[in-house]
Structure 1
Amino acid sequence: MIELHSIPSEQVVLSTLMSLEQVADTLVEQVDISDFYAGRHQVIFKLIADQHKKGESLDPVTIWELIRINNHENDVSEKYLMELTGRITTTLMFDTHLAKLKDLSARRRLQDTSKLISSMAVDMATHTAETAVSKAQSLIQNLDLGSGEEKLKHAHEFSKVAISEFMQRHQALHDGVAFDGGICTGFTALDNKLGEISKGDLVIIGARPSMGKTTFAQNLAADMMINQSLPVLFCSIEMKGHQIAQRLISGIGDVELRKVLTGKISPNSDDVKKISTAANILEKAPLMIDDNNRSTVATIRRSAKKVQLKYGKVGAIFVDYIQRVTPLSKNNFGRSDKDIGEISGELKRIAGDFECPVFALAQLNRNLENRPNKRPMNSDLKESGDLEQDADIIMFIYRDEVYHKESKDVGTAEIIIGKARNGSIGTVRLATDLAKSTFADLSPEYYESLDEQGVGGGV
């Protein structure tokens, strides 16, 4: 008799989830408890899935502690768990064995359904032939054919959603209230150009060093968490958490960063009160900072889950910066195109899974330094192919004063929009005061002066 289960394959899948923690968070969602035939394997997977939902560790020691706490020692012994996790596993093995488990679990469901249909066929007391056939058809139609099947819907289902959102937006505008739709940047000129940033968008912010990309990202995050009441996750791979907080206090309080860093302020100065007020605002803001300098997409996903548990949702995720994210497939040759493509693809999936935009900062190639016009373009993104493809929005920061000390544009930055799925490409100018960690909309007077000079505002 053919057995519709594979204990070795179940062991490989469980061992991978507990042993390869860097990738486990992206793999566990592909598995269902019904994929396992053995009862003890179902126990182990349920604990793994519960940990995944909470954004907690899936390692064998943690799982064993949970087995003991939940009185599952009769189902799973410590010796068996250690033998299980002692297996050598790879993500390639995981994919192969999970596919086998999916096939076997589907066959088990088919077998169970066929047994039920057989019993109905001979149950003349309960079913007529007509009702038995009808019930059998219903059972077959309700067989779970896989998660991809539920994505198939008639276009009308999606059009209903689109029309419903349109009516809600229309009513919100009529009533003068905010609509809980996309995300704003907080900069009027930039929002006019981009429109809303949609939930699920991957936004790339690229710049050469000293252009202020981290400050710009922190300004975006500050507006979202303070003015839009959105829970924000800031993954800082380059700076420690307290350094991020210092810059946020500088920007929110409109105080020079050096004063926040050195404490050299007169006790009676207004800056003391500004710093205190900014710190109080930051204390109440829905902001979580992950300053793990070895972040992977798995740790970013795990942090996002914790934000979701704490606040009920994730409003936006910031990653500073994408080339510093540790790739899942380690190699000895530094970051490759494949690594960056894998990371950007996973960040795009994280955006979709948490229904929030992900803002990923990116370094640009040095090659642009050799051009007379050093304004960035999409091709200047390091390993740009996949970043360009995965991104919904690409923005670059250019400050002319970095290259030309006598520039007439001192104190301003160009935000160059190189890609915008739902907005317009082009350039927006913002005022800068990096000493106070601040970008801001330019005054109407600035644009009037440009018009008088016959220069255009670039918006």
Structure 2
Amino acid sequence: MIELFSIPVEQAILSTVIGTEQGLDEILEQVQATDFYATQHQIIWNHVKTQYSKGESYDQVTIWEMIRANAIEANAVDEKFIINLMSCFCPKTLLPTHLKKLKDFATRRKIQDAGKQIGTLALDMVSHTSETALNRAQSLVSNLEGGLADNRLKHAHEFSKDAITEFLERHMALHNNTPFDGGIRTGFVGLDNKLGEVGKGDLVIIGARPSMGKTTLAQNFAADMMINQGLPVLFISIEMSGKQIAQRLISGIGQIELRKVLSGKAQVEDCGKINTAARILEKAPLMIDDNARSTTSTIRRSARKVQAEYGKVGAIFVDYIQRVIPLSKNNYGRSDKDIGEISGELKKIARDFECPVFALAQLNRNLENRPNKRPVNADLKESGDLEQDADIIMFIYRDEVYNKESKDAGTAEIIIGKARNGSTGTVKLATDLARSTFADLSPEYYEIQGLEGGGV
């Protein structure tokens, strides 16, 4: 009799996943405990998935401790079983082959189980007529096919219904002057008018040369989202420590010069502003990950923790994309392919968590040699994949950085180079980087400049 399972295959997958962890998100998402034949392996996989869903790390020790805490499970899996299992570690490159075999056996077992049930139905003359038995058999086969098919494959009408439903909800919200839980706002009127909104699942690239205020603008976006929109925000800070990010947020929220927050040289009224900002930040749904060696896998894990804490992720900020360590660094060694892998994974994270991901990006220094130093899409380092994956691309340009006598001192141009659902163009904002702040310009400014609505 042919056995529809392979214990060595199951052991190899479990031991490698437990021993590797990094970069295995896709496998952890698609493999279920029932794909394993051995009960012991199902128990172990359930604990791996539990840790994964909570965004927690795991190894053979943590898995064993979890099993040991359950008397029934400890009776099925002892410490020796775990030790023997970990000796079956295989190269990560073989995982796809083993995974395909595991899925193949699992599917065949499902077919076998359905066949047994259909055989029982055929012989059941008491509970079923031939017609009800046939309906039940067809249902079993249909369920089996449903489990194997891609559940994203639907008739266009299904998506059309979703689109019309959202349109009607938006229309009624506007008519009734009530909020609609749709896309995300940046908090800047001119910019929001230009973009429309940032969609859940969008990858947004914020590019600029050093000293233009990338991190400050991102923090201003984050502050509005968590304070005014009540959205849980995850800030991935690879370049700065969490304390430095908090200091800049306090400066921006409290509208107090950053140097006073850093030095402690503040007046009584300044201390009041700092205290108020700190209390606001304390209550805000913000999580900061300042891991200097962040990968897309660690970002995904942090996002799962935010989701577990708040029920959802409102937005993710990554400062900045060129500092994210690619999972396949040893395979490529070419910077453009590294960035392509990272931007593709960030886009997946945005879609998986149904929230925008804002990724800050450094620009090529070649633009410094041009007479017009305003950035364009091609100035993105390794721009091909970033340009393709991004739903929105915006750049920051402050003329005073290059021209000390600039008539535009105290303002910044936010240049929208790509917007899938909005308009490209330029929006001007006021800047007060000493207080970690960008702001909408006053209506009087636009009247003087002959501009309309904050954008050109």
TM-score range, shorter chain: over 0.9
Give the letter aligned to residue 259 of structure 2: R
Aligned to 1:15: 15
Deviation at 1:253, TM superposition (A): 0.8
In 2, the alpha carbon distance for the partners of 1:250 and 1:312 equals: 29
- Find the residue that maps to 1:143 and give its secondary structure: helix
Deviation at 1:170, TM superposition (A): 1.4
Amino acid in the other structure paired with 2:402:
Y
Measured after TM superposition, the shift of residue 169 of structure 1 is: 1.2
Secondary structure of 2:15 counterpart: helix
In structure 2, C-alpha distance between the alignment counterparts of 1:405 and 1:456, rounded to whole Å: 27
Q: What is the alpha-carbon root mean square deviation over aligned residues?
A: 1.9
Q: Counterpart of 2:99? A: 98
- How is 1:278-357 mapped onto 2 (pairs within 5 angstroms)? 278-331=277-330, 336-357=335-356
Spell out, residue by residue over 1:392-451, the C-alpha distance to the aligned partner (whole angstroms, 9 max, x if none). Answer: 111111111111111111111111111111001111111111111000011112112212
Q: Answer whether contact 1:106 1:144 (CA < 8 A) is retained.
A: no
State the shift of 1:84 in Å: 2.1
Flag the 1:59–1:196 CA change in 2: closer, same or farther, 3 A.
Answer: same
Say if 1:221 and 1:455 are closer, same or farther in 2 by CA, change over 3 A.
closer
Which letter maps to 1:158? F
Residue 335 of structure 1, CA deviation: 6.0
In 2, Cα distance between the equivalents of 1:271 and 1:134?
75
Q: Which residue of 2 aligns with 1:56?
A: 56
Kindly provide the CA deviation profile for residues 1-58 of structure 1, in whole angstroms up to 9, marking residues without a partner as x. 2211111111122122211121133431111112101111001001111111111112
- Report deviation, 1:124: 3.2
For 1:457 and 1:356, locate their aligned partners in 2 and report how far apart those are by CA, in whole Å. Answer: 26
- Residue of structure 2 equivalent to 1:429: 428
Q: Distance in 1 between matches of 2:90 and 2:366?
A: 41
> Following TM superposition, by how much is the alpha carbon of 1:345 offset from its aligned partner in structure 2, in angstroms?
1.2
Gaps of 5+ in 1: none
TM score, norm. by length of structure 1: 0.95
Aligned counterpart, 1:196: 197
Equivalent position amino acid for 1:383 in 2: E
How far did 1:308 drift? 1.1
| Amino acid paired to 2:377 | N
8 Å CA contact retained: 1:18, 1:24: no
Tell me the residue number matched to 2:413.
414
1:34 equivalent in structure 2: 34
Confirm or deny: 8 A CA contact 1:344 1:387 kept in the other structure. Answer: yes
Contact 1:224–1:232 (Cα < 8 Å) also in 2: yes
Report 1:233-312 matches (<5 A).
233-266=234-267, 268=268, 270-312=269-311
Q: 1:225: which partner in 2?
A: 226
- Count of aligned residue pairs for this structure pair: 455
Deviation of the 1:262 alpha carbon: 0.3
Unaligned runs of 5+ in 2: none
Map of 1:360 onto structure 2: 359
Per the TM alignment, residue 456 of structure 1 is displaced from its structure 2 partner at its CA by 11
**How far did 1:132 drift?**
2.8
Aligned-partner SS, 1:150: coil
Per-residue deviation, 1:386: 1.3
One-letter code aligned to 1:15 = S
Distance 2:109 2:36 in 1: 11
Q: Secondary structure at the match of 1:294?
A: coil
Per the TM alignment, residue 73 of structure 1 is displaced from its structure 2 partner at its CA by 2.4
CA deviations 1:327-384 (Å, max 9, x no partner) are 1113398662222111111111111111111111111112212222111111111121
The secondary structure found in structure 1 opposite 2:180 is coil
Residues in 2 aligned to 1:285 and 1:399: alpha-carbon distance in whole angstroms: 30
**1:2 alignment partner in structure 2:** 2
**How many Å apart are 1:147 and its aligned residue?**
6.0
Amino acid at match of 2:385: D
Tell me the secondary structure at the aligned position of residue 73 of structure 1. Answer: helix
CA contact (8 A) 1:400 1:410 kept: yes
CA distance in 2: counterparts of 1:35 and 1:169, whole angstroms: 42
Question: Is the Cα contact below 8 Å between 2:413 and 2:427 reproduced in 1?
Answer: yes
Give the equivalent residue in structure 2 for 1:69.
69
Map 1:146-165 to 2 at 5 A: 146=147, 148-165=149-166
Conserved in 2, the CA contact under 8 Å of 1:323 and 1:335?
Answer: no
**Equivalent residue for 2:131?**
130
Q: Deviations over 1:260-293 (max 9, x none)?
A: 1001123x3x212111111111111111111111
Match of 1:168 in 2: 169
Q: 1:332 to 1:367 in 2, by over 3 A?
A: farther
After TM superposition, give the deviation of residue 86 of structure 1 in Å.
3.3
Contact 1:450 1:456 in 2 (8 A): no
Paired residues of 1:450 and 1:457 also in contact (CA < 8 A): no
- In 1, are the aligned partners of 2:191 and 2:455 still within 8 Å (CA)? no
Q: What amino acid is the match of 1:351?
A: A
Distance 2:126 2:452 in 1: 89
The Cα offsets for residues 96-133 of structure 1, whole Å up to 9 and x where unpaired, read as: 11111111111111111112222222333443433333
Alpha-carbon spacing, 1:6–1:405, altered in 2? closer, same or farther (3 Å):
same
- Find out whether 1:444 has 2:443 as its counterpart: yes
Structure 1 residues 458 and 311: alpha-carbon distance in aligned structure 2, compared to 1, 3 A threshold:
closer
- Give CA-to-partner distance per residue, 1:38-93, whole Å, 9 cap, x none: 11100100111111111111211111110111232222222221232233434431
